Amino acid sequence: MGNKDTTLTFRVTENTAEQLRHIANERDLPLSAVFRDYANLLVTHDGRVSVVPDHAIDESTMNDAEFPPTVEVSTSFVREHERIELENDHLRAQLEEYKAYVTQLLEEIESAEEEGEVINLEELDRELDIDPDNPSYQLG
């Protein structure tokens, strides 16, 4: 069986919701990612996760090998992630350039149509009574 995502819904007070948004903004994450990370951490550590403010962590907790949980990430993974971020930025910049170019071309077409410089071939065929099913073209 494949992995299927399930949506969970629950209610929190407005004050709690604002605090959660603040936490998500501090970490530059979407709010759903904060919940997803917490749920994954809770499952990984078999429910032995407690959320406490930084000032409530004492030295005995800091010396505990299980809290806070740490994960080692290879340098190659970090470099690949940075490379992908740079490529993403480059592609976004290219996309913006292409959008600007398309907008410029559309503006040129509109101005040419207003000045009468554009000739629509379908309209020209209708004006000359050319049958669209059997066109006869002559070059030269």
Separation CA 104–CA 121 (nearest Å): 23
**Do 110 and 101 contact (CB within 8 A), yes or no?**
no
pTM: 0.37
Print pLDDT tens along the chain (140 aa).
Answer: 566 777 777 788 888 888 888 888 888 888 888 788 878 888 888 777 776 777 776 665 555 556 566 778 888 988 999 999 999 999 999 999 999 999 999 998 888 878 777 777 777 777 777 666 666 666 55
**Do 104 and 96 contact (CB within 8 A), yes or no?**
no
Q: Which residue range(s) make up the domain with 57?
A: 14-71
- DSSP secondary structure string, 18-57? HHHHHHHHHTT--HHHHHHHHHHHHHHTTT------GGG-
**Do 4 and 11 contact (CB within 8 A), yes or no?**
no
Separation CA 89–CA 131 (nearest Å): 51
Cβ atoms within 10 A of the Cβ of 35, count? 14
Would residue 37 count as lying in a domain? yes
Considering only CA atoms, which of 72, 8, 2, 81 is closest in space to residue 43? 8
Domain count, the chain: 1
CA atoms within 13 A on the CB side of 45: 16
Would residue 21 count as lying in a domain? yes
Would residue 56 count as lying in a domain? yes
Would residue 49 count as lying in a domain? yes
Would residue 32 count as lying in a domain? yes
Would residue 22 count as lying in a domain? yes
Considering only CA atoms, which of 16, 8, 72 is closest in space to residue 39? 8
Would residue 33 count as lying in a domain? yes
Would residue 85 count as lying in a domain? no
Separation CA 18–CA 12 (nearest Å): 10
At which residue do the structure tokens 């030269």 appear?
Answer: 140
